[in-house]
Structure 1
Amino acid sequence: MTGRLYGVGLGPGDPELVTVKTARLIGEADVIAYHAARHGRSIARSIALTYMREGQIEELLQYPLTVETTDHPGGYQGALDDFYAECAARLAAHLDAGRTVVVLSEGDPLFYGSYMHMHKRLAHRYPTEVVPGVTSVSAAAAVLGRPLVEREEVLTVLPGTLPGEVLAERLRATDSAAVLKLGRTFEKVRDAFAEAGRLEDAWYVERASMGAERVAPLKEVDPDGVPYFSLALLASPAERTFVPKDDAQAPGGGEVVVVGLGPAGRPWLTPEAQDALALATDIVGYGPYVDRVAPNPRQERHRTDNRVEAERARHALELARQGRRVAVVSSGDPGVFAMASAVLEASADYPDVPVRVVPGLTAAQAVASRVGAPLGHDYCVISLSDLLKPWEVVAARLSAAARADLVLAIYNPASRSRTWQVAAARDLLLEHRLPETPVVIGRDVGGAGESVTVTTLGELDPDRVDMRCLLIVGSSTTRVTPQGTVFTPRRYP
């Protein structure tokens, strides 16, 4: 069995910019191959050394020439072609022996890299994989802290070895540009930027991410001593025209966003809700709900008791009036027995504070999804809590919904101090529904203590229902399949 060939990108120079995959492959390889000029020093090997291990075979692929003249009958290119063929034969001998060969490449292996000459000669003969790396262009932009391109802008990458007039023409016609392979070509490249009218905006980056890194405006660089590992960069024109507004004029003053967290953890959170939480300076809410938001040290968290909705709403509005971006959090959807109505009611006294509501997945939807589609037809949502409305109102609404043959999603069925309403609601519903009516008990759906039970109205045991439960009571058309799926048909008889 033959060995496997890997061409791995090492990035621009900093060993910490080597990818995890490249680091692993270097450590596992039987053979480490790398190119070097005639002095024998390899930047690629120096980057990879951190990840190499004792006992690995090293193959130094030393160029016979760089920019010198040669008496080779094929000229400069002929000499290089022979060199690459000889290197490929050396690596092939290892591959034929079943050894894994990793060829190191600064930057990316297929971006002006020496590895590509091995790839062209060996990839059709042996199992081969190329592992990309961070390019010098990306590293230079990162060092400068300037974007390369935005929106429909065009980035042009040019070798400094092109004729000066070609460089100038290409520079005039593009939005952003990176010119590589400076060294001896530096003066020609700088003149091309000037001819194209782009010199004032061009930057010079030398040995990006290495210890000897240097950055300067291109027009101020002394040509003497410019190394091969440098480039000229023309960043995004949008970056050069963008003028930040003063802080006093910055958009986005204080506001209150009432955010629905969904029934449980992050998978139930909508992207809009995630965005609202990320932008907030303050998180306000009932303690357990605030705890469901991942901590962020730049944000202040205001945890309150469950029975102070009005005070919580006013506190959030006061914070927003001070210029804070406040997220008031609710479980499920904030407009369903939650904080949206409390905040909007209190906001009448704060007409200068904008209030937004960001919806969330409701507990009723979550419980219904676990068993099928019990909410597939008309349904109503009722809270059994009599804290904010008398039981007589709750009872009248239960009876009305039962007579109307609506599916019921029942919130807040019980609490530590309120335990009798489930039995009372069951008895009221049995006046209008058959004992065989399907009932779903969903507890902590989406959480660690999730449980979902399908029973019937006649067999509903109030002792199995607590404050973390939601009940779904079916209509006369709700069905339970032999597999336990619950659904209410779209068609009514």
Structure 2
Amino acid sequence: MTDRQHSVGRLYGVGLGPGDPDLMTVRAAELIGKADVVAYHSARHGRSIARSIAARYLREGQLEEPLVYPVTTETTDHPGGYRGAMDEFYAEAAARLAAHLDAGRDVVVLAEGDPMFYGSYMHMHKRLADRYPTEVVPGVTSVSAAAARLGRPLVEAEEVLTILPGTLPEEELTARLAATDSAAILKLGRTFPTVRRALERSGRLAEAQFVERATMAGERTAPLAEVDPESVPYFSLAVLPSRIGLPAATEDDARADRGSVVVVGLGPAGPLWLTPEARGELAAADDLVGYTTYLNRVPVRAGQRRHGSDNKVEAERAEFALDLARRGRRVAVVSSGDPGVFAMATAVLEAACADPYREVPVRIVPGMTAAHAAASRAGAPLGHDYAVVSLSDRLKPWAVVAERLRAAAAADLVLALYNPGSRSRTTQVGLARDVLLEHRAPDTPVVLARDVGGPEERVRTVRLGELDPAEVDMRTILLVGSSQTRAVRRADGSEVVWTPRRYPES
């Protein structure tokens, strides 16, 4: 026996690239030509795209191992269903390759594209790589080939590329497409109608490109919106290329029908609190308009104009945004938290309901509210009925604020108190505390939540009778419990605040 016969063989997962044999790597061609065994997946008809790509590099006398899928759709009479049938197939295929490796034969498993990118090879790798010496040879993916054939960059600068299987549920596809800069959606075929609807619902259909059999015979590219669903094969994908460099609306564009305003809620802090829909609207806008502090939370994008202003000019900011939209611009007005809660949605809609802005399309994209964010940090203080009141008397008299506090307190509602104080308003917290003490016990829990989600976050619980106005500023929200709200010390020393959902009978 030779030394080779005493040793086990090596397993190679070899990426073939997108289809054109000329796009295979030198290493891939070398290994295919030297292998003792060449394995490849195929459908039940026996034809293998992987083998056809590698055919010119095969040599006479090599052993071939066709790994024939038992099913190609999720319909099967296997007792374990589709997943059970495939698991059984992969186990059997791995055993066949292991027999060759145990006999000292080197085995190359052909993989279209890249072996570790949605490929079948990875199922062999997971079953064999811990038992045999293994090498994975990367290949050009279908995504890279599609971008090359389109002649469009996938991503530039700080853009994010998202790779999606078309088999995801429509809602999930829509959310991810709305949130990303660029995308590639694979596994089309029967999923094409769902993918097209997701692109349309996310507002990305006009950008989407279709690529079929990139670098192979029968290659086709087209705007996805123009593709007949009945003509779409499995070996195709949808691409949302880079947005950078795309023409935006200009001041002189005669595209008033294109203009619109969307008021976007940023949530209480950074990107973790931003919804996918909000992220997508911010990326798609020609112009961003908002209070400068909030505008600074939105990443700078090439070609996008930013219009920051002071926090006290909401009406002027709304009219400015609507005027930009009348000139054909897609405008996003940014607002902290939820735009409909003491924020910019009201100002924009008020202006949009009057001349000359009645025809401008306006949409509101919700965001996580400061009250809900603060409540999540404290526990569940908003677990029962609650009211939301702004302590600011800049836009309404303090007498109205006090009257509403008394009414909510008398109704035994939990209270979320916004805008509690500022440099020019220093008395409201103390006044509100005294009003609430007319109806609440001094030991009522009060959550003080400052800069929730931000770098200076601080959330703690005090008692209503001990509430110190000096500890509250404009970046703080107060959650005042009802008569049923509990503040409980847990085993780890933390205190959680919660309001029971069940209210005692009167």
TM-score, normalization by structure 2: 0.60
CA RMSD of aligned residues (A): 4.7
**Counterpart of 2:370?**
363
Between Structure 1 and Structure 2, how many residues are aligned? Answer: 361
Kept after mapping to 1: 8 A contact 2:8/2:102: no
Q: Does 2:264 match 1:259?
A: yes
Q: Which runs of 5 or more structure 2 residues have no equivalent in the other structure?
A: 1-6, 35-54, 65-98, 152-184, 193-209, 229-248
Q: Does 2:304 match 1:308?
A: no
Summarize the alignment of residues 141-220 of structure 1 with structure 2, pairs less than 5 Å apart.
141-145=146-150, 150=188, 152=190, 178=213
Secondary structure at the aligned position of 2:217 is classed as strand
Q: Alignment partner for residue 480 of structure 1, among 484, 487, 492?
A: 487
1:266 Cα deviation from its structure 2 partner: 0.9
Q: Does 2:220 match 1:235?
A: yes
| Separation in structure 2 between the aligned mates of residue 379 and residue 177 of structure 1, nearest angstrom | 55
Q: Alignment partner for residue 80 of structure 1, among 39, 49, 62?
A: 62
Q: 1:94 to 1:475 in 2, by over 3 A?
A: same
| Separation in structure 2 between the aligned mates of residue 151 and residue 252 of structure 1, nearest angstrom | 35
Kept after mapping to 1: 8 A contact 2:114/2:138: yes
Secondary structure at the aligned position of 1:356 is classed as strand
1:141 Cα deviation from its structure 2 partner: 4.0
Q: 1:459 to 1:352 in 2, by over 3 A?
A: same
| Separation in structure 2 between the aligned mates of residue 479 and residue 313 of structure 1, nearest angstrom | 42
| Separation in structure 2 between the aligned mates of residue 310 and residue 142 of structure 1, nearest angstrom | 44
| Separation in structure 2 between the aligned mates of residue 149 and residue 89 of structure 1, nearest angstrom | 32
Q: 1:2 to 1:36 in 2, by over 3 A?
A: closer
Amino acid at match of 2:220: A
Single out whichever of 319-328 and 393-402 deviates more from structure 2: 393-402
1:364-391 CA-to-partner distances (Å, cap 9, x unmatched) read: 0000111111111111111111111111
**Counterpart of 2:389?**
382
Amino acid at match of 2:217: A
1:235 Cα deviation from its structure 2 partner: 2.3
| Separation in structure 1 between the aligned mates of residue 405 and residue 57 of structure 2, nearest angstrom | 90
Kept after mapping to 2: 8 A contact 1:372/1:486: yes
1:51-105 CA-to-partner distances (Å, cap 9, x unmatched) read: xxxxxxxxxxxxxx9799xxxxxxx85x2349xxxxx99999899xxxxx99999
Kept after mapping to 2: 8 A contact 1:176/1:235: yes
**Counterpart of 1:424?**
431
**Counterpart of 1:489?**
500
1:4 Cα deviation from its structure 2 partner: 7.4
Amino acid at match of 2:219: L
Kept after mapping to 1: 8 A contact 2:485/2:498: yes
Q: Alignment partner for residue 373 of structure 1, among 369, 372, 380?
A: 380
| Separation in structure 1 between the aligned mates of residue 110 and residue 350 of structure 2, nearest angstrom | 66
**Counterpart of 2:283?**
278
| Separation in structure 2 between the aligned mates of residue 360 and residue 177 of structure 1, nearest angstrom | 38
Report the structure number with the largest CA radius of gyration. Answer: 1
Kept after mapping to 1: 8 A contact 2:410/2:439: yes
What is the percent sequence identity of the aligned residues? 61
Amino acid at match of 2:30: Y
**Counterpart of 2:202?**
none
1:482 Cα deviation from its structure 2 partner: 2.0
Q: Does 2:422 match 1:410?
A: no
Q: Does 2:274 match 1:269?
A: yes
Q: 1:362 to 1:2 in 2, by over 3 A?
A: farther
Secondary structure at the aligned position of 1:485 is classed as strand
| Separation in structure 1 between the aligned mates of residue 392 and residue 186 of structure 2, nearest angstrom | 58
1:331-378 CA-to-partner distances (Å, cap 9, x unmatched) read: 011111111111111112211111111111110000011111111111
Amino acid at match of 1:80: Q
1:275 Cα deviation from its structure 2 partner: 1.8
1:176 Cα deviation from its structure 2 partner: 9.3
Q: Does 2:473 match 1:466?
A: yes
1:246-278 CA-to-partner distances (Å, cap 9, x unmatched) read: x99999611111111110111111112112112
Kept after mapping to 1: 8 A contact 2:9/2:102: no
Q: Does 2:7 match 1:7?
A: no
Kept after mapping to 1: 8 A contact 2:33/2:57: no
**Counterpart of 2:180?**
none
| Separation in structure 1 between the aligned mates of residue 56 and residue 349 of structure 2, nearest angstrom | 74
Kept after mapping to 2: 8 A contact 1:148/1:176: no
Kept after mapping to 1: 8 A contact 2:9/2:104: no
Kept after mapping to 2: 8 A contact 1:370/1:452: yes
Q: 1:254 to 1:374 in 2, by over 3 A?
A: same
Q: 1:2 to 1:467 in 2, by over 3 A?
A: farther
**Counterpart of 1:35?**
31
